[in-house]
Amino acid sequence: MKVYPEKLAAQMNESLAPIYIISGDEPLLVQESCDLIRNNLKTRGFGDRELFHVEASFDWSQVLFSANSMSLFAEQKFIELRIPNGKPGDKGNKALMTYLQAIPADTIMLIVLPKLDASTQRTKWYKALEAASVVVQVWPIDANQLPRWVAQRFRQVGLKASRDAIQALIERIEGNLLAAAQEIDRLRLSVDGDQIDLQQVLDAVTENARYDVFGLIDAATGQNPDRAIKIIRGLRSENAEILFILAMLGRELRTLISMARAVAEGQKIDGVLQKNRVWSKRKSIVGRCLKGRSVTVLETCLRQLSCVDGQLKGVRPGQPWDQLENILLQLAGRPLLVANLA
């Protein structure tokens, strides 16, 4: 059963599915759909939550053991399974099929996936999983929908923004919903009253016009390694949230990989950029990356992001900020750290 994100709450109030699948490349919308499920289940007594990150050499027997083990703390169990690359592999396929054959009572599973390509959606394991699940496909907000989405977001935090203010914010965030949400939250905390005009947005943007994640991604994608390192070290000195950087860089890399594959198959870059709704201000930046970086290099960068995640969790050796610098340099066309960038 497929459900739009805005209909998810109503579906859960009507009945609970044994499995929920959240799939998409919009980190904010994916996160909010997952939060809705978590909070709903928590209020229903699913207090025992087990979280699994599927990475290289993941032991799928852990999931089956957890699903069939009685909890010491609750009668109802909530299993959350995150598969960043969307491919569980042969062992994962078998484990999921085994789980589907005898879904435990009083157990809900949430599976979080990136946007899946058509070939993955046709696989046997996914079709079997989909048949037993509520599937929430998170689609990007396109340029025509964005003004309404931003206005609604302002209303959700108790603010009413003018049309000019909304347009100014849209030009600032260029389609990045996480950035929009952050800017709106900042405005809510910094302004008096509930009215937001153009000048307030411009002042807030000027105030926050320092090293930011989106400038970082543009620098690396635009093949400017010196600027990318300058920004990442600025973010590091400001104790920026590295998980946010990983989320946005991962989103960018998945989009770049999809476009690079299309170019490798013979499609023209201009057409690929148009089809993927790349904003006009970023077309030259993304185009340089597609001309300079192969699919293999982009896929390597994406895989290495999971190493950073492992370093943050303490399950892999190394420093996550240093590893992130190397990934950015590889994306920008300079695969090794250079001393004179300090």
Whole-model pTM? 0.65
The CATH classification number of 5-138 equals 3.40.50.300
Say if 5-138 and 146-207 have the same CATH topology: no
pLDDT for 24-62, tens place per residue? Answer: 988 889 989 999 999 999 999 887 788 898 887 889 999
User: What is the rounded CA–CA span in Å between residue 92 and residue 109?
Assistant: 15
CATH architecture of residue range(s) 146-207: Orthogonal Bundle (1.10)
Q: Residue 84 gets which letter from DSSP? A: T
- Least reliable range by pLDDT among 13-27, 157-171, 201-215, 289-303: 201-215
pLDDT for 85-113, tens place per residue? Answer: 888 989 999 999 999 998 888 899 999 99
Spell out the domain ranges in the chain.
5-138, 146-207, 213-341
For the chain, what percent of residues have pLDDT higher than 90? 48
**Cβ neighbours, 10 Å, residue 231:** 24
> Tell me, what's the pLDDT at 342?
30
pLDDT for 108-165, tens place per residue? Answer: 999 999 888 888 899 999 999 999 999 999 988 888 889 999 999 999 999 999 999 9
Whether the Cβ atoms of residue 132 and residue 1 lie closer than 8 Å to each other: no
Closest CA to 116 of 2, 35, 8: 2
The CATH classification number of 213-341 equals 1.20.272.10
**207 pLDDT exceeds 60?**
no
**239 pLDDT exceeds 60?**
yes
User: What is the rounded CA–CA span in Å between residue 124 and residue 92?
Assistant: 12
**213 pLDDT exceeds 80?**
yes
Rg, C-alpha atoms of the chain? 21
**182 pLDDT exceeds 80?**
yes
User: What is the rounded CA–CA span in Å between residue 159 and residue 161?
Assistant: 6
**175 pLDDT exceeds 80?**
no
- Least reliable range by pLDDT among 85-94, 173-182, 281-290, 292-301: 173-182
